[in-house]
Every structure is written in structure tokens, then in C-alpha cells.
Amino acid sequence: MQDAVLIIASVAVAAGLALIMWRELGSGRVRRKVGVVRDTIEVLLPVVATGGLVWWAWVA
Amino acid sequence: MTSPAVRITNPRTDTPLIKTYVELMKLRIIELLLITTLPAMVAAAGGWPGWWLTFATLLGGTLSSAGANAINQVIDRDIDKAMTRTRGRPLPTDRVSTTAVLVFGSSLGVAGFAWLWATTNLLAATLSTAGLLFYVFVYSLLLKRTTTQNIVIGGAAGAVPVLVGWAAVSNSLDLAAWIMFAIVFFWTPPHFWALAIRYREDYERAGVPMLPVVVGEKRAMEHMLAYTFVMVGATLLLYATGPVGWIYLTIAAASGLAFLAATWLLRDHPEAAMKYFGYSNVYLSVIFIAIAFDVLVLA
């Protein structure tokens, strides 16, 4: 049961992160108030950290 | 009726000073922070963490959060004055000086650190203070006025209390603590963007680049859905890896689906933004109460 939930959770997180990257980075030209480097870092920081968390969940 | 001799008030507004200082602490926000702290403690302990440790941790967390809230109001006093929702706060209405609030906020922060170090451990004290510093320097000073990601990254400050709660019990930070952190972290954007949808003109007037102001409501709601997916995924991840069982899983799955549905429906009903905002508070409370309940019942 836990394995099945781990898979479902990982898929949900991955789908959400993919959607975040698509909408955030895709709309950058419209919404960006800071430079592109800082903006990209701000978007990717939580995405990478969360990816790391899911990886930790798999290996723990 | 109290006589004027015993009622200490601000001569400019006749508001009791104690009421003003209580307002600066924003205790209603702290209430929600504490709802996440205690279940984290229960999860770390695998049961009831003890009355004294619970009281000490919640008090320390309150001191740190209140300090952060007060200092934030010094930084945001021009924004608060420009916004209808906040122009009645103590600083925009000149009920208290900025110096007094800075001293008050800093004192609360120092007291929170000292209290937590004395009654729990250095890790919990450091985390609580790190949350305060992050809220002040990263969110309020660096992000809030410059980027639509302000509440995404800045929201980490609101997720710190679960780490404080866990650390106070175990003097460490395990995977489960970070998953709970992620739940609150990814809950924060949909929660605050709903508020920003409701008060869009206010934020626009104040020049704060909240996402709905910059990209419009419809696109902001698409972002909200994305963050909600990650948040619900994180709640399920806690069952898959952590100290909770089937009671939590059932509640998390059901309430997660309901919250996803609410986020989806908001797209066609932006006028329900404040209802959604209120519902997001209920959702987070349900998730964390479910954590505590599951651990206490199944332990």
C-alpha cells in the first residue's frame, strides 16, 4: 500500500512541478520584474528542492 | 467603567496601548502556525510529546512569529498605508512609532530564541530565529516588492514552525519533517493568491507584484492549481514514508481531492476567492489535525 501511495504521490508532485515550470517560465516575459537569471533561479529553487525531497523519499 | 487614571492609552488615538501591541503581533496568523507546530511535535514523538515541552515550544514559536510580524509591519508601513485592507494597522495610523515597533519586534525575536534554547534545544531555537530572519530579510526586504515569486519563496517562513516543532522533540530533522514543511510551503501560494485575487486593486495600488496583479486572475489560478497538485502529492508522500497510518491517508486523500476540486472550480468563480481563502485555512488545519490524531490513535 505504501509503495502504491509513493508512486501516486510522486506522480502528483511531478505533474505539479512540471506545470509550475511550464506556467512560470513560460510566462516570464509577461510577469518578470527582475532579471532573467534571478527569475529562473527563483522558479527552479523550490522545484529542485522538492525533486530532491521526492528522491529522498524513494531512497529512504 | 475604568477610570482614565488606570487606562494607558495612546494620546493620539485613545486606543489602549496594549491593544496596539497585540495587533502588531498578528496573533490570528500565529494561530495557524501553531496548528502546524503541535502535530509535527506529536509525529516526532510518536505520541504526546509532554505538556511542558508542548507549552514551551508553542510559546517560543509564538514569540518568534510575533517578532517577525511586528518587524514586517515596520518594513511594509508604506504599503499598509496604501492598501484599504491594512491602512488601519498601528503604524499607518500613527498609533505607535517605528522605533518602538522595531524594539518590540526585535525583543520578541530575541526572547523567542532564548526561551526555546533554554527549554528545548539549540536546533529548535536556531530554526525559529532563522524563520524570523528569513521573513524579514528575504521575504519582506528582498522579494515582496520585486517578484511574483515573493509569496512562493517567502512562504518558507510560514513552513518553518513544523521544523521547529519536530526539532524541539527530536533535536534533528528527518524526512517526515521536511515533507510537512513541503506541505505548508506548497499550500502557501494558492492560499495567498486567493487573497490577492480578492484584493487585487489594493495590491496594484500599493505596487506589490502579487501574481494575480501581474498576470491576471485566470492565469494566476492555473498557477494555483499547479501548486495544489504538488501540495496534495506531498500530503500523500507523508503516508508513504512517514509516521502516519491509514486514518491520516483517508483524510488526506479525501480532503486533497476536495481542495483540488475547489481550486479547479475557482477558475470559473473568482468571486469566491475569499471563501476559497477561508477554506484553505480549514484544509491545512484538517491535514495537520489528521496527522496528530492518526499518531495518537494508532501509536
CA B283 to chain centre: 14
pTM above 0.90, yes or no: yes
Cell of B217: 486572475
Domain that holds residue B160: 16-298
Question: For residues B174 and B169, what is the distance between their CA atoms, to the nearest angstrom?
Answer: 12
Mean pLDDT calculated for residue range B98-114: 96
Helices (H), B120-216: 122-133, 150-154, 156-170, 175-198, 200-206, 211-215
Average pLDDT, chain B: 92
Helix, strand or coil, per DSSP, at residue B189: helix
pLDDT band at B4 (very low <50, low <70, confident <90, very high): very low
Q: Is residue B262 part of a domain?
A: yes
* Cα distance between residue A29 and residue B123, in whole Å: 41
Contact B114, B31 (CB under 8 A): no
Chain B CB contacts of A19 under 8 Å are 222, 225-226, 229
* Structural domain count of chain B: 1
Interface predicted TM-score (ipTM) of this complex, two decimals: 0.90
Task: Tell me the CATH number at B44.
Answer: 1.10.600
pLDDT tens digits along B33-50: 889 999 999 999 999 999
Chain A positions in Cβ-Cβ contact with residue B143 (cut-off 8 Å): 42
Using the Cβ of A37 and the Cβ atoms of chain B, whether some distance falls under 8 Å is answered with no
How confident is the model over B259-292, as pLDDT tens digits?
Answer: 999 999 999 999 999 999 999 999 999 999 999 9
Among A19, A29, A59, most B C-beta atoms within 10 A, so best to mutate, is A19
Whole-angstrom CA distances from B95 to A15, B86, B171 are 48, 14, 41
pLDDT of the residue at B13: 58
Q: What is the pLDDT of residues A3-45, one digit of tens each?
A: 899 999 999 999 999 998 888 776 655 555 667 788 788 888 9
Does B234 contact chain A (CB < 8 Å)?
Answer: yes
Each residue of B117-169: pLDDT tens digit?
999 999 999 999 999 999 999 999 999 999 888 999 999 999 999 999 999 99
Closest-CA residue of B relative to A46 is B153
- Residue B64: inside a domain: yes
Asked if B33 contacts B65 with a C-beta cutoff of 8 angstroms, the reply is yes
Give mean pLDDT, residues B88-109. 94
For B240, which of A5, A19, A23 is closest by C-beta distance?
A5
